[in-house]
Amino acid sequence: MHPVNKLMVSTLQRLPQSLVKPVAMRYIAGETLEDAARVVRDLNARKMMATTDVLGENVSTEEESLRAVQACEKVLAAIQEERLNANLSIKLTQFGIKIIENFCYENVKRILQVARSYKNFVRMDMEDSSITSATLNLYERLRGEGFENVGVVIQAYLRRSEGDVTKLIRKRVNVRIVKGIYIEPENIAFKEREEIRWNYLKLLKMLLEAGCYVGIATHDDFLVQGAYQFIREMKIPSTAYEFQMLYGVRPRLRDQIVAEGHRMRIYVPFGKQWHSYSIRRFKENPQIARYVLQALLFRT
């Protein structure tokens, strides 16, 4: 990270949460399920889908994981009851994968069963490289047991991802593709912006050519245009893919993609763990950190 960007993020980390919260909430639905439902309703009215995320990760006890599972069950129930066009994203470190892997498996299976009863879908988010293999293994296990309502994520900056995609496309899986945000060593991750971009497009092309349903998750104009080109050249129907973006990030680009006839899903996080999520997003996108600092400095 550039020294100036590092300084901005460090400054935000040291500020009182009460000062940062009003601005950070531009990128988070709020602290409650009711907040998330309100945001999703608004997105649906704007012809956009959503995926909801109960904030929290790297829990240290089974009790915390079980509380997260219960919270996710409530999300799925609310989506069903309010007829929202939304699904659910989960983090395996919140479900206990670093505590006991089989405990995590049982938790995810429980959520998938609830989602299946509602004819809904669950995306397992990808986290840092320490659990990449465990995440993919769990995904394969669940698919092998007949769960079709589960998807996975591939991070384009990981050098291993081409091999992972080669295995995944054999089953025409549902994949979200992202650049990747966690800080990883150079021996396992691409570091240069352009090589990450080109690898993203390479993997996206592999997935689309194989007939996989792809969540094209990006805020990068270059990648959006590259995706457009693939869609045109392969004559891919609009029902075979979707674009995905984070809540509150680049709304003009989001609206433009929708206006051009593409499906759009917005990642809607909510919960009391908003501060740690915000800091991670600031590190990923220092431009957001700059906006937040400017808003704090010049607010009246």
Is 196 within 8 Å of 155 (Cβ atoms)?
no
- Give the side-chain half-sphere CA count within 13 A for 7: 3
Helix (H, G, I), strand (E, B) or coil at 172: coil
Q: Which one of 123, 176, 197, 281 is the catalytic residue?
A: 176
Q: Does 125 participate in catalysis according to the annotation?
A: yes
Q: Compute the distance between CA of residue 296 and CA of residue 145 in angstroms, rounded to an integer.
A: 50
Q: Compute the distance between CA of residue 179 and CA of residue 202 in angstroms, rounded to an integer.
A: 12
Q: Does 176 participate in catalysis according to the annotation?
A: yes
Q: Compute the distance between CA of residue 251 and CA of residue 156 in angstroms, rounded to an integer.
A: 23
Q: Compute the distance between CA of residue 271 and CA of residue 280 in angstroms, rounded to an integer.
A: 15
Q: Which one of 53, 123, 125, 265 is the catalytic residue?
A: 125
> In one letter, which amino acid is 60?
S
Is 178 within 8 Å of 134 (Cβ atoms)?
no
DSSP state letters, 215-272: EEE---HHHHHHHHHHHHHHT--GGGEEEEEETTS-HHHHHHHHHTT--EEEEEEEST
Would you say the C-alpha torsion 29, 30, 32, 34 has a positive or negative sign? negative
Residue 12: closest CA among 299, 274, 282: 282
Which residues lie closer than 8 Å to 117 by C-beta, 6 or more apart? none
The total of other beta-carbon atoms located within 10 Å of residue 143's CB is 16
Q: Supply the residues annotated as catalytic.
A: 125, 176
